[in-house]
């Protein structure tokens, strides 16, 4: 069908201006016959589009497989590094704990030595006081210095 014949099928409806609407004047024509040449040209394009989609699916599948292998490698590497990092963290924590233990033991020994020194300084004086109290009680002096339960007043 010629272009002039196709265009002749449409006529203007309404006044000319910005919005022009055209409708087919001849409704008896066969739209399938009219569209057959155009649609026949699309067959090759549809086949080409199908091939492109099939190639794209194949490429996408290959990319997904490659990414999965890469992800598995990354996970394996991370797991290996994680065990090394854990071991390093444990070693650092043990070193810190040993250092802290050494400091606490030194502080404890120092405190114990101070207590012993103070005890060594005070025991003779306390022993003399106890002896005086005991001797005083035997002599009858200071009987009111002790409470009835036997504890110092």
SS3 readout for 68-134: HHHHHHHHHHHHHHHHHHHHHHHHHHHHHHHHHHHHHHHHHHHHHHHHHHHHHHHHHHHHHHHHHHH
Give the pLDDT of residue 85: 93
The per-residue pLDDT string of the chain (153 residues; one tens digit each, 9 = 90 and over) reads 677 777 766 666 555 555 555 555 566 667 777 778 777 888 888 889 999 999 999 999 999 999 999 999 999 999 999 999 999 999 999 999 999 999 999 999 999 999 999 999 999 888 888 888 888 776 655 555 555 555 554
* pLDDT value of position 68: 97
pTM greater than the 0.85 cutoff: no
∠ Cα 90 76 79 (to 5°): 15
pLDDT for residue 147 = 55
pLDDT at residue 45 in the model: 85
**Across the chain, which distance is largest between two alpha carbons, in Å?**
151
pLDDT at 28: 63
What are the C-alpha distances in Å from 58 to residues 50, 51, 62, 67? Answer: 12, 11, 6, 14
């Amino acid at each position: 069908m010629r272009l002039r014949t196709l265009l002749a099928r449409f006529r203007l409806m309404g006044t000319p201006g910005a919005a022009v609407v055209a409708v087919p004047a001849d409704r008896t024509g066969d739209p399938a016959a009219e569209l057959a040449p155009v649609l026949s040209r699309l067959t090759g394009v549809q086949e080409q589009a199908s091939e492109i989609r099939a190639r794209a699916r194949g490429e996408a599948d290959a990319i997904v497989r490659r990414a999965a292998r890469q992800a598995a490698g990354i996970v394996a590497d991370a797991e290996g590094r994680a065990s090394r990092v854990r071991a390093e963290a444990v070693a650092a924590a043990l070193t810190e704990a040993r250092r802290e233990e050494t400091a606490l033991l030194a502080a404890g020994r120092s405190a114990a030595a101070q207590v012993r020194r103070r005890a060594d300084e005070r025991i003779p004086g306390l022993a003399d006081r106890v002896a005086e109290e005991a001797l005083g009680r035997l002599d009858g002096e200071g009987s009111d210095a002790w409470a009835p339960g036997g504890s110092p007043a």
